[in-house]
Structure 1
């Protein structure tokens, strides 16, 4: 198992290196909007567009050999020197560090609630198949899948923010993180994300648990007088947890990747999603690259945690250490 974990960590490093290299290659062959704008301004003022392009490349170091630029790029990535954000007039890393806590402050409770509620409802539905509670849980799952997050968020803002005034409509970033005011601001975003995420966790946990509800070892445990809680946690949840890990990691990554864009833009949360969205609108290449790399690193680390979790949850897996 130890060598399996070492191999997975090394592969995560290799995957990160390949992603960074591919990103550099795409940036190297992609025209820079700032250079095109400078050429246009030079031509419009009667100057030389070629001279303006050469001056731009010399100032940005683009006149050097590809190998030198690639080596400098990789060193900057490792040392977190990710460039300057033109739209925010600050280093990219400073902008990301300032936005990251706002993404984490709603992602962490959303992840915890989605896993706890999704697993609980799914397991209860599996052990009470074809009952009214099972049908209610299934309806809830389809409800969560059917409603788009951005539309649901707007509706909640109109009802509970504008009409009833229970929650603030505009996110106030000056409110302290650990305060009741911040909790009030995060209730609606967390509800929107949990509603969409819990559906997938519930459905898959129910489907996986149903494979073991009528299994022989479960019947044997029941015949020996094991209580329902022990049967549910030791004999049903544990074998079902291995395939569920893939779903849980995927849902968690979905919160950081797709959902963060939608929720942060709708609710005005100044997190990574809104930071990346505004950078795309402003064509701030350095900031777009930095935020994209953060999401990429989260995906690589998430898959690494998933692979390592397999070694803990299922000792029957052959890790190829021999």
Structure 2
């Protein structure tokens, strides 16, 4: 298993290196909007647009050879120097580090809740197929998958925030203390957690139910029933473990969806200054370095998540070969 883990770690490093290279090539072929803006401002003020362009390229290192720029780009990312945010007047990594705790505050509970509740309902539904509880769980799943997070968040704010006044409408960073737990912070995070968890619970439930149904009627499960295995023992030892092998892939996908797509929409709706809102503002303001930095976060999570997923496969399913022989 040791060599298997070493190979997977090496492959994860290669994937990260390829992603950095592709990102660099996209940067090279993408027109820089700031160049046209600087030249226009120089022309308006009576200056020389070409001189402004030369100064800009020299300041950004764009006058160096392509290979030198590429090696400097990769080296900077490996060393943690992800560029400078012009809109925030600070290093990109500092901006991400400052915003990341706000995203973790609601995304981490959402992942835990959606995983435990979704898989629990899915496994229970598979063991009680075609019953009233199974139909109710199926309805909840279709509701969670079909409803848009953006619209759902706005409706929750209007009903429980504006009309009933149970939860605050505006996210207050002053009470979002990341070091200690506070009831006031939980109140303003409750609705974002509900929005993210709803769709994720539905997806986890449907996948868990579909995978568990493959083993409910399996021969080894029938044998275990004949020997007297029932209830939690049947579920945990004979159905849950083989079901977790394909579901571990779903967990990585849910994590990326929550941190990238869903978090961006939710943070815009609820005004949370997390990574999703940071990426949205960077795109609107055409802050290239900041956009790349915020996009690289889910890419890094994807690489690490798939690495942990491959290792989890070998632990959950002993039939998987390590390839050592």
State TM-score, norm by structure 1: 0.98
Match status 1:201 vs 2:230:
no
1:154 is matched with 154
Match status 1:66 vs 2:66:
yes
Question: Cα deviation per residue 1:114-152 (whole Å; 9 max; x = unaligned)?
Answer: 010011100110001111000000000000011000000
Quick one: distance in 2 between partners of 1:28 and 1:305? 33
Q: Superposition pairs for residues 123-272 of structure 1, below 5 Å? A: 123-175=123-175, 176-177=177-178, 178-272=181-275
Question: Cα deviation per residue 1:35-79 (whole Å; 9 max; x = unaligned)?
Answer: 111111122233322222112111211111111111111111111
Question: Cα deviation per residue 1:215-258 (whole Å; 9 max; x = unaligned)?
Answer: 12111111111231100111011111111111122112111111
3-state DSSP of counterpart to 2:272: coil
3-state DSSP of counterpart to 2:273: coil
3-state DSSP of counterpart to 1:174: coil
> Does the 8 Å CA contact 1:121/1:137 hold for their aligned counterparts?
yes
Quick one: distance in 2 between partners of 1:192 and 1:16? 31
Question: Cα deviation per residue 1:93-130 (whole Å; 9 max; x = unaligned)?
Answer: 11000000011111111011001001110011000111
2:41 is matched with 41
Match status 1:298 vs 2:295:
no
Question: Cα deviation per residue 1:262-302 (whole Å; 9 max; x = unaligned)?
Answer: 11111111100000000111111111111111121111111
Quick one: distance in 1 between partners of 2:239 and 2:223? 13
Number of aligned residues: 322
Quick one: distance in 2 between partners of 1:253 and 1:279? 19
Quick one: distance in 2 between partners of 1:219 and 1:59? 71
Quick one: distance in 1 between partners of 2:218 and 2:142? 28
Quick one: distance in 2 between partners of 1:319 and 1:127? 33
Quick one: distance in 1 between partners of 2:59 and 2:128? 68
Q: CA RMSD in A?
A: 1.0
Runs of 4 or more above 6 Å deviation: none
Quick one: distance in 2 between partners of 1:22 and 1:284? 19
* Unaligned residue ranges in structure 2 (runs of 5+): none
Quick one: distance in 2 between partners of 1:82 and 1:247? 30
2:6 is matched with 6
Quick one: distance in 2 between partners of 1:95 and 1:179? 25
* Unaligned residue ranges in structure 1 (runs of 5+): none
2:106 is matched with 106
Moved more, 196-205 or 48-57: 48-57
Quick one: distance in 2 between partners of 1:9 and 1:258? 27
Quick one: distance in 2 between partners of 1:57 and 1:220? 72
Match status 1:289 vs 2:282:
no
